[in-house]
Amino acid sequence: MRKGCIMLFSAAVFLAVGLLFCGPALAGEADSCISCHEKVSPGQVADWRTSKHAGEDVTCVDCHGDKHQKATDGDLAQLPSEHVCAECHEEQFNQFSKGKHNFGWTSLNALPITHVEPDELMEGGRGCGGCHNMGIKSEAQKKEQHDKGYRYQNNSCDECHTRHSFSKKEAQSPRACQQCHMGYDHPQWEMWSSSKHGERWFAKQEGRLDKNAPAPTCQYCHMPNGSHNNHTAWGFLGVRLPLPKDKQWAADQVTILKALGVLDPFTGKPTARLDAVKAVDLARLTQKAWEDEREKMIKTCANCHAEQYARRQLEMGDSMLQKADRLLADAIETVAALYKDGILKKPDTYAYAYPDFLYFLRTGGGNLEQASYIEQVLFQMYMKHRMRTYQAQFHVNPDYAYWYGWAMMTKDLVEIKDLAKTMRATHGAVK
Ligand code: HEC
Ligand code: HEC
Ligand code: HEC
Ligand code: HEC
Ligand code: HEC
Ligand code: HEC
Ligand code: HEC
Ligand code: HEC
């Protein structure tokens, strides 16, 4: 399995020599790691023993190197990046590299807010960084992390195949996705697990349905044929280029793109942020790219449903996004008018006197002022409630689609209008 050995094996003449030189030498190093760690961290060794790796003689040294040999020099152990896995799993590595997961770390770091929040939540991995650790880090990113004194979180593959079992079966469970795909702005776990699709899966787990009964999991729809390259048509932001054909919807998406800072709010021209959006693959940028993803998904649904049934379901998702965008654009324009009329002051960090979704959750700190309450409500409308409105449509969840999504958006809009009215009235009074 080691490169050197494979080369020797491939030349039949050297077969015997290869066995003589590689076999025993490796076994010796590996044995010392195992026999000491059996005492130091027995749980880890037990876990590794359950893995396919143990049976294939892929041992501690294959991933951690052999520089560390003593109880006192653990820091010499290499903590393997995805490139180490790639030595033996090139196919999965290449697929992963092209997929959306590979952008987790880069997209996190592209946000200004990331750099003023506590580091424990970022590089330390207990907050945003715990989920966005997904993605192969560049040398520059690794150096930055290292310089800040963070040594771990070098690997994405172990986010689904947890170490040291590195199991395929574990990764095939929808629970492998739960830790990250839950909560505030992407409750896919909650939506799926309480949908009919999820209910079927749980019924199978309990043996109430035949083991061959169809029950689509996250992986079934998002990693078809085991592909590690994951994309969807709308993606997270729910915006796309070219803009939708419907004129009002296109105008509403332009308003949202301005609040994302991707379009200049006054000239409508693209800003530098558009390049950042492109760089992290935030949105499908051509009609074809969008349609390819959509058609792939419909094909998947059609394994269990009539094709036109599936198509209609997804079109309803698009249509709900359109309706949600109408409400959101109205709210953005209401807040934008407060900037225009001098009732809300432009924070120094904003490029424009216009709402900026990339700065919203700020609590102050660094050179960032605290966000105003009306901005917080607007942010929540975008990030939490608009997301739920359309994500739930796609994940077939009635409760999230209505009560946690649409109903909350209408409430946000009323609140924003009310707050704006009061702010205008009291602003006049102060003057
Ligand atoms: C004589 C005992 C001993 C031997 C032999 C040994 N280790 Fe360790 N190893 C330790 C101890 C002790 C630690 C530190 C644990 C701690 O900090 O709590 C450690 C730490 C580690 C770490 C974690 C490093 C980190 O940054 O946290 C890795 C990985 C590791 N060992 C792998 C190996 C491998 C691979 C081998 C064989 C090449 C090996 N160990 C051999 C005792 C040993
Ligand atoms: C297939 C590759 C692979 C093998 C084989 C492997 N490890 Fe690891 N190990 C990893 C990865 C990946 C990490 C996480 C690295 C990070 O967080 O940066 C890790 C982390 C560790 C850590 C530090 C983190 C912790 O939870 O304590 C220790 C200690 C460790 N391994 C010990 C071992 C020992 C002992 C063996 C052999 C029984 C072994 N590893 C075999 C891939 C491997
Ligand atoms: C030295 C080669 C080698 C390295 C390095 C290696 N693997 Fe493997 N891996 C194997 C072999 C061999 C198998 C067994 C293949 C089989 O059963 O088809 C395997 C199997 C697997 C499986 C399937 C397990 C199952 O339950 O069927 C996963 C997942 C996996 N490896 C992940 C990883 C990850 C993640 C890393 C890096 C942290 C890694 N491997 C590093 C050789 C390697
Ligand atoms: C460790 C956290 C983590 C785990 C575990 C995880 N994901 Fe993700 N996932 C992310 C992050 C972060 C993103 C966004 C990446 C980015 O910033 O571009 C993402 C993006 C996605 C997307 C792309 C959506 C789009 O924009 O088109 C899909 C699909 C997806 N994940 C499916 C899954 C599935 C299925 C599983 C389980 C098999 C899973 N994820 C497990 C963190 C995770
Ligand atoms: C619980 C895990 C988790 C936490 C914590 C988390 N994210 Fe995410 N993030 C995700 C997932 C999963 C996605 C993809 C969701 C989707 O496509 O519906 C995502 C998407 C994103 C995206 C869009 C990426 C894209 O290309 O589509 C950005 C930017 C982002 N998160 C930044 C952050 C920031 C900043 C924080 C902390 C304030 C944070 N995230 C906290 C899991 C998390
Ligand atoms: C988002 C979760 C997720 C991540 C991250 C992930 N995998 Fe997987 N992996 C899976 C799933 C699910 C399967 C099972 C696919 C199937 O059903 O065939 C799998 C299967 C595998 C297999 C077994 C292939 C086979 O046909 O037996 C290997 C090897 C593997 N992954 C390696 C990797 C490597 C290397 C990485 C990092 C570059 C990685 N995986 C990252 C979810 C993930
Ligand atoms: C029955 C198929 C199906 C299942 C099962 C499924 N999804 Fe989805 N998922 C979709 C569809 C359809 C979309 C929207 C695609 C589009 O944009 O056209 C989507 C979109 C997504 C997105 C992008 C943002 C969004 O929500 O619209 C992420 C991330 C995601 N799914 C993750 C998951 C996770 C994690 C699970 C399991 C907990 C899961 N999905 C289960 C079909 C499914
Ligand atoms: C692996 C099989 C499978 C796949 C793939 C699948 N479904 Fe389903 N779906 C089912 C089953 C089984 C049910 C429950 C019986 C029924 O209502 O038809 C169901 C139910 C539904 C329902 C009705 C839910 C309710 O509350 O009554 C909708 C809508 C739906 N699926 C849409 C989709 C869409 C859209 C896709 C693709 C993104 C999809 N399904 C993919 C198996 C599947």
Ligand 5 contact via 121 beta carbon (within 6 Å): no
Q: Which residues contact 6 (CB under 8 A, 6 or more apart)?
A: none
Protein residue whose Cα sits closest to atom 32 of ligand 3: 166
Q: Which residues contact 22 (CB under 8 A, 6 or more apart)?
A: 2, 4, 5, 8
Total residues belonging to the chain: 431
Q: Which residues contact 408 (CB under 8 A, 6 or more apart)?
A: 381, 384, 385, 388
Q: Give the C-alpha separation, 391 to 393, whole Å.
A: 5
User: Which tokens go with 288?
Assistant: 């074809």
Contacts 24+ apart (CB under 8 A), 122-131: 123/148, 123/150, 123/153, 124/150, 125/152, 125/153, 129/153, 130/179, 131/104, 131/179, 131/180
Protein residue whose Cα sits closest to atom 31 of ligand 7: 188
Q: Give the C-alpha separation, 322 to 250, whole Å.
A: 9
Q: pLDDT at position 8, please? A: 41
Q: Give the C-alpha separation, 380 to 241, whole Å.
A: 24
Q: pLDDT at position 206, please? A: 97
Q: Give the C-alpha separation, 268 to 65, whole Å.
A: 54
Give me the phi and psi of 233, to 5 degrees please.
-65, -55
Ligand 4 contact via 106 beta carbon (within 6 Å): no
Q: Give the C-alpha separation, 22 to 25, whole Å.
A: 6
Q: Measure the N-to-C terminal CA separation of the chain; round to a whole number of Å.
A: 78
Cis, peptide link before residue 118, omega less than 30° from 0: no
Protein residue whose Cα sits closest to atom 20 of ligand 1: 74
Region of 305 please: left (phi>0), alpha (psi -120 to 50) or beta.
beta
Residue 367, classified by CB atoms within 10 Å of its CB into exposed (0-12), middle (13-18) or buried (19+), is exposed
Q: Give the C-alpha separation, 301 to 286, whole Å.
A: 23
Q: pLDDT at position 369, please? A: 76
Q: What is the residue-level pLDDT of the chain in tens, covering all 431 positions?
A: 344 444 444 444 344 433 333 433 455 667 899 999 999 999 999 999 999 999 999 999 999 999 999 999 999 999 999 999 999 999 999 999 999 999 999 999 988 888 888 889 999 999 999 999 999 999 999 999 889 899 999 999 999 999 999 999 999 999 999 999 999 999 999 999 999 999 999 999 999 999 999 999 999 999 999 999 999 999 999 998 889 999 999 999 999 999 999 999 999 999 999 998 888 888 888 999 999 999 999 999 999 999 999 999 999 999 999 999 999 999 999 999 999 999 998 888 889 999 999 887 666 666 667 788 999 999 999 999 999 999 999 999 999 999 999 999 999 999 999 999 999 999 976 55
CA-CA distances (angstroms) from residue 394 to 192, 215, 220, 391? 10, 16, 14, 5
Pocket of ligand 1 (CB under 6 A): 29, 32-33, 36-37, 40, 60-61, 64, 66, 68-71, 74-75, 77, 151
Amino acid in the structure at residue 405? G
Contacts 24+ apart (CB under 8 A), 78-84: 79/151, 79/152, 79/154, 79/155, 80/154, 80/155, 81/136, 81/137, 81/142, 81/154, 81/155, 82/136, 82/155, 82/156, 82/157, 83/136
Q: Give residue 228 CA to ligand 6 midpoint distance, Å.
A: 7
Cβ atoms of 327 and 413 closer than 8 Å? yes
Q: Give residue 50 CA to ligand 3 midpoint distance, Å.
A: 12
Cis, peptide link before residue 186, omega less than 30° from 0: no
Q: Give the C-alpha separation, 153 to 145, whole Å.
A: 10
Ligand 5 contact via 186 beta carbon (within 6 Å): yes
Q: Give the C-alpha separation, 429 to 18, whole Å.
A: 88
**Buried b or exposed e, range 173-187, using 16+ CB within 10 angstroms:** bbebbbebbeeeebb
Q: Give the C-alpha separation, 329 to 70, whole Å.
A: 62
Ligand 3 contact via 204 beta carbon (within 6 Å): no
Q: Give residue 6 CA to ligand 4 midpoint distance, Å.
A: 35
Amino acid in the structure at residue 21? F
